[in-house]
Structure 1
């Protein structure tokens, strides 16, 4: 029997609050790359130390994801998301003090912990708070918000530095957006608490589904997809500056990559509400990603903008559909959160090493051809995993 919803805010408000929170789940990472040269010159950081600035949040997203369900068991899932967005506010705020090295890295770490908690718990809340026939569309909306936040923070970092007078103020200013998300989420916390009191459920286990084959399949899919995404994000622009492109124009390639993800990240999950066998969408997204990567490997100068857009369409849909899998293969919101905790732990921990590993490949081979060849071969693995995602797989309890 479907529980009543009189204590929850209207669905439209839940969507607005979800979007306000989700917009902050990538700004801590995406706002840094455009300012790396300025930060390095000001603080005397090496390339390795700069790489850690973007790797640290991804590593946090993996290492702290398993603890999200335990926090939710104590505080409630909605309240835990409020704590998560509060961590993002504090972490980004610390960057205002970035005249020294430690506030920059401490703030990045705190924000990364918040991103890990929020990103892990949101799929379960989508399953609990929204009608089942709208879960795909809602997932697409928060994917759209997340990538929009990433795109905006990347595009505006340098202009904000000029307007506000320093790179510290530019990075720290994104705490304002996080504060908006925290305020917007407060009514959801209150409504969710009353909703759970009126619809008590059996206390759910907090252990992650390590022995469940479906959980491992989802984790493997997200691990491959995450390695591909963060490696592409790290090496797309450098692979063209190495071919003589102006850094500004190479950066525009990243904007095209992100813009394409916005489109497919919304459309892919929305189609899951109409297509019952999600393998069709998963395979289609992976084929697009493979086409983009093969183009960057074998014909990088023939149609770079086209390859980047195709790759972005595939990557955006692949990640968003991975979020839908956490709803599809879980019987309860709690099970969805536990599946997300395990899948994010595996995928983001591995993904945090992807850019550096492929950077070593680039150093060993002297160019980026082998990097894109490796990612193309990895996409073939993703295609094989997609073929296994049949609708009748056992669900996590």
Structure 2
């Protein structure tokens, strides 16, 4: 009977409190939210990436062709796998018509001399050009309009850098043309001295990666020793990747992962079939020395492309964010449901762009019982209390208890 009476009183007490809270439109009854689990926002570097398969290939390939109308092939002077320098002999052939070959070589030499003179003029003109500081884009016409250089001015330093890059590009083209001219002049010298035999020289340095014994074109291919990574992107991935994006080339060698960057993304797919998916070629140039030829053409690698990056970002675990909001525990002891704007996500971490600061306390359990703008309480952390570590026998607890009662 006594237990039944206690149970009835307890139920009436709970019911009365529930009714008071339900009817409390003026919020005169204090509400308290209990927080069991909470965490803090962190400062960390976040990146959004795309990992794609790739294969190592030569950066450049120079294909050598043989015009059978010019003469009869005699012999190769190199073999597949040989390393060649500019000017090294590649093959010989016997001309069938001296006068025709003489005219052809003369025309090619004249054409190359004109191109070399034009490149030298461009380099001299752009190298001596002083860029004025202004807000608009600088448009420069070179070589009587043959070459156009467009430079968006964003400061003298950037302008000078673009100028140097343009000069380097044209200087490289000039060196290539001069090597071709030297080869043709030597062929002309052979023709004039022998009357019927010409030795063709290498226009570039590299490795003989392909050689056609059947004399089909291309007769041979000279590949540069420098390697880069080649990959392909789907239509969706092509919309995300741009040139100059930071990329790690992941190898299975002792070199490990090598830093690099996207240097080329094609706007044209490899194949354009209606029923097939489109794939867009991509080249990644990476930094790293080929120690004793560790890296070889054909090695398969991984391409870890950084699409977006946020350094020193305020971050919070994804499962602590509820429908675009977080439960912030303020210093005055109030629980606030704050709306946040999120950014980059890496694994379980999400960047908080707006709505939180570094070191903010964030409650997350039991989330279904949280109420906005209420006082919160947390569980008592006994290990954090000093007295928890003290031994009772070292304390005159009776004295302090009587003293406390006396003060009360």
The TM-score range, normalised by the shorter chain, is under 0.3
Q: Identify, as 1 or 2, the structure richer in helix.
A: 1
With the length of structure 2 as denominator, give the TM-score of the two structures.
0.22
TM-score (norm 1): 0.22
Instruction: Determine which structure has more spread, i.e. the larger CA radius of gyration.
Output: 2
